[in-house]
């Protein structure tokens, strides 16, 4: 069935929003990707993805997904540290410790408090005598520090952390209210953090607490302090999971949703130990098709909203559109919504001409979006991207592309080296490589394991052709 038979127009279609936080209908058409299963399995912990890849969608749906998967035996707490919490955590330090370790402790305590609040949502009648004793300790700590009716937030927890032990009532864990004055300014020690986590874990004999963290890039500025704070969160996530998370969904499990470009730029000891808990959020054309189909009226397939026939290059309209994205849901929706805007009021299909017209504006958006996406990681990225303007879409070899950079981005190549600049463009999927003159060009957005090759033909991504006025040239 097509739109005309259904009695609706292209403009009547409601494809949702490109912003997961603002999409009230997200649960109605949310797609269970492989990463969803990993988030609920207590196996993976660091969920990595580029802007628009769906990190926030999974994050926001976790409470519903966990309820469907575990029922009443699991609770999810969603943490979105705002600029105030981020600022307070940045300022936290401990004498004699490196900033990374101090920030790890700060995050562990913040997460522990959040998990404690989530645990209190359970009915105490479900616990046995031993678990109930620990439950009362946790409730005593939370209510004496944050009030019976006010759930703690990352902001007020972080602000108190800066004031030291004196800012917290630890009577529930055996520390008297009037403990020695000279200890009032001491830091929250790992031992105290473990007391809280141990108590939570003692209650979790047959249930699980998931603490998820997102929106970390909102306050990211690329500074060394910001890097230390992010590393601290990653280490805190792993340390808590290593000690308190069980593979059967019991215990305390922490998951962090981080932009992949930020994560890749972090350097810290034992990062290799985190590889086993990394999960890249990736999409395939088939998954993107399923994602859009779920947003269409019943019995309407994705191909039926387009004019019949293939686009140039013998490719269907939807595949033509997907080829001009970095395989991110947000981009597919953006492109389709621009097609909607350009369609006439009575149109019952998106014409090929409309797709081509919409592509120009969409491509300009992609150029601007890339500059914004990478400016905090590599401030010169915008200048580097502009060096490709009005050049060609393919180069016979890596050496030919290097020569282009040396010519068009001479200042940057002198400062950073042409190979490093090529790596930046390859990691962002601005360019891809066709190896051995066989098959099609491959881009990192299609395979996160791809490494920058030393040989092969270099191609600019099709999403940028119109935005950068790229000339399409035939292979020699």
Predicted local distance difference test score (pLDDT) of residue 188: 65
Domain assignments of the chain as residue spans, ordered by start: 1-13+284-371, 34-280, 375-476
Quick one: tokens of 90? Answer: 């940045």
Predicted local distance difference test score (pLDDT) of residue 406: 96
Predicted local distance difference test score (pLDDT) of residue 97: 76
Query: What is the distance between the alpha carbons of residues 263 and 254, in angstroms, rounded to a whole number?
Result: 17
**Which long-range contacts link 261-264 to residues 24+ away (Cβ below 8 Å)?**
261/50, 261/373, 261/374, 261/377, 261/427, 261/428, 262/216, 262/217, 262/220, 262/230, 262/377, 263/46, 263/48, 264/427
CA atoms within 13 A on the CB side of 285: 11
Q: In the chain, which stretches have pLDDT less than 70?
A: 95-96, 165, 175-188, 437, 474-476
Phi, psi dihedral angles at 2 (to 5 degrees): -105, 180
Predicted local distance difference test score (pLDDT) of residue 476: 47
Predicted local distance difference test score (pLDDT) of residue 179: 45
Predicted local distance difference test score (pLDDT) of residue 450: 86
Query: What is the distance between the alpha carbons of residues 114 and 112, in angstroms, rounded to a whole number?
Result: 5
Of 389, 397, 473, 399, the residue nearest 430 (C-alpha): 389
What length is written for the chain? 476
Residue 458 burial (CB count, 10 A): 24
Query: What is the distance between the alpha carbons of residues 385 and 430, in angstroms, rounded to a whole number?
Result: 8
Query: What is the distance between the alpha carbons of residues 172 and 137, in angstroms, rounded to a whole number?
Result: 5
Query: What is the distance between the alpha carbons of residues 105 and 231, in angstroms, rounded to a whole number?
Result: 11
pTM: 0.89
Quick one: tokens of 270? Answer: 């034992």
Of 375, 381, 396, the residue nearest 430 (C-alpha): 381
Query: What is the distance between the alpha carbons of residues 459 and 370, in angstroms, rounded to a whole number?
Result: 17
Residue 14 burial (CB count, 10 A): 11
Query: What is the distance between the alpha carbons of residues 79 and 45, in angstroms, rounded to a whole number?
Result: 14
Of 293, 322, 323, 309, the residue nearest 352 (C-alpha): 309
């Amino acid at each position: 069935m097509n739109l005309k038979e259904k009695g609706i127009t292209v403009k009547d279609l409601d494809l949702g929003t490109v912003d997961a936080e603002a999409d009230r209908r997200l649960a109605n058409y949310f797609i269970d990707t492989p990463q969803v299963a990993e988030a609920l399995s207590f196996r993976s912990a660091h969920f990595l993805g580029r802007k628009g890849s769906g990190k926030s969608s999974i994050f926001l749906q976790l409470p519903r997904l966990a309820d469907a998967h575990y029922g009443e035996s699991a609770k999810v707490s969603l943490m979105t540290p705002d600029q105030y919490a981020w600022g307070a955590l940045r300022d936290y330090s401990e004498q004699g410790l490196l900033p990374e370790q101090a920030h790890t402790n700060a995050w562990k305590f913040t997460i522990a408090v959040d998990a404690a609040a989530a645990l209190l949502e359970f009915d105490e009648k479900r616990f046995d005598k031993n678990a109930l004793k620990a439950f009362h300790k946790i409730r005593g700590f939370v209510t004496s520090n944050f009030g019976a009716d006010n759930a703690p937030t990352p902001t007020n927890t972080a602000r108190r952390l800066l004031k030291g032990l004196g800012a917290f009532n630890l009577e529930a864990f055996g520390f008297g209210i009037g403990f020695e004055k000279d200890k009032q300014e001491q830091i929250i020690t790992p031992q105290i953090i473990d007391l809280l986590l141990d108590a939570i874990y003692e209650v979790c004999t047959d249930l699980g607490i998931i603490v998820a963290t997102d929106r970390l890039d909102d306050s990211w500025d690329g500074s060394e302090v910001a890097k230390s704070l992010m590393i601290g969160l990653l280490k805190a996530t792993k340390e808590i999971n290593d000690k308190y998370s069980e593979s059967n969904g019991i215990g305390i499990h922490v998951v962090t949703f981080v932009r992949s470009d930020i994560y890749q730029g972090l350097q810290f000891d034992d990062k290799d130990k985190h590889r086993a808990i990394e999960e890249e959020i990736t999409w395939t054309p088939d998954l993107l098709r399923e994602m859009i189909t779920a947003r269409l009226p019943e019995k309407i397939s994705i191909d039926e909203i387009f004019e019949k026939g293939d686009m140039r290059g013998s490719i269907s309209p939807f595949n033509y559109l997907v080829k001009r994205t970095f395989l991110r849901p947000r981009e597919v929706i953006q492109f389709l919504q621009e097609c909607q805007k350009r369609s006439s009021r009575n149109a019952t299909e998106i014409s090929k001409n409309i797709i081509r017209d919409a592509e120009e504006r969409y491509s300009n958006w992609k150029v601007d979006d890339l500059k914004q996406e990478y400016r905090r990681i590599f401030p010169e990225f915008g200048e580097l991207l502009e060096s490709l303007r009005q050049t060609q879409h393919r180069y016979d070899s890596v050496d030919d592309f290097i020569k282009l950079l040396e010519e068009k981005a001479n200042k940057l190549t002198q400062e950073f080296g042409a190979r490093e600049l090529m790596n930046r463009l390859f990691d962002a999927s601005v360019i891809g490589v066709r190896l051995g003159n066989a098959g099609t060009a491959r881009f990192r957005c299609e395979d996160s394991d791809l490494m920058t090759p030393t040989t092969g033909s270099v191609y600019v991504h099709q999403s940028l052709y119109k935005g950068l006025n790229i000339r399409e040239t035939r292979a020699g």
